[in-house]
Amino acid sequence: MRSKQAKKRLTIADPVYKSKVVERLINIMMMHGKKTLARSIVYDSIQKLAEDRKEALRIFELAIKNVMPIQEVRSKRVGGATYQVPVPLKHDRAEALAMRWIVKIARNKSGRPMEERLHDEIKNASQNTGDAIKKKEDTHKMAEANRAFAHFARF
């Protein structure tokens, strides 16, 4: 077990939208330390959502909110058996999962530039459709199916 709890790192709001959520998405999007490239991809995909910056940011935040799961399952070992125990999620963890799912799904699609793929996934998520919403529903179904083991979460 960990000796100390990991300290929470503070993220600074991004320069264009003044939003910490957008900056976190940029950091998740970034590969091999190429933050400028990640920034341009994220900004282009958010900009395509609406003409007005505030409206585009509102649609983006709605998409993240729609994808955020309420609970997930965690493995818990009890007496030689491993159970999938449903646990409620904190806001930061749920937001991180939502952004990770959106980026992963956009990366797995092929044939078009990343800006378009990310834009489509964000747009679908804001309308409660798409693969990221399906992933959230699958997570909730798994948690619901294992609700019988919820009493193990107290250990």
CA distance 64 to 133: 10
CB 72 within 8 A of CB 139: yes
Q: What pLDDT shows up at residue 1? A: 66
Q: Mean pLDDT, the chain, as a whole number?
A: 92
Pick the CATH number of 20-154 from 3.20.20.70, 1.10.455.10, 3.60.20.10, 3.90.79.10: 1.10.455.10
Residues 36-73 have pLDDT tens digits of: 999 999 999 999 999 999 999 999 999 999 999 999 99
Q: Which residues contact 80 (CB under 8 A, 6 or more apart)?
A: none
Q: Is the pLDDT of residue 2 over 80?
A: no
- What is the rounded distance in angstroms from the CA atom of residue 98 to the CA atom of residue 101? 5
The amino acid sitting at 60 is: F
Residue with the two structure tokens 């990366």: 107
- Token readout for 129 is 């459709």
What gap in Å lies between CA 89 and CA 115, rounded to an integer?
A: 30
Give the residue extent of every domain in the chain.
Answer: 20-154
Overall pTM surpassing 0.75 (yes/no): yes
In Å, how far from its chain's centre is CA 150? 24
First CA to last CA across the chain, in angstroms? 15
pLDDT value for 127: 95
pLDDT at 134 over 90: yes
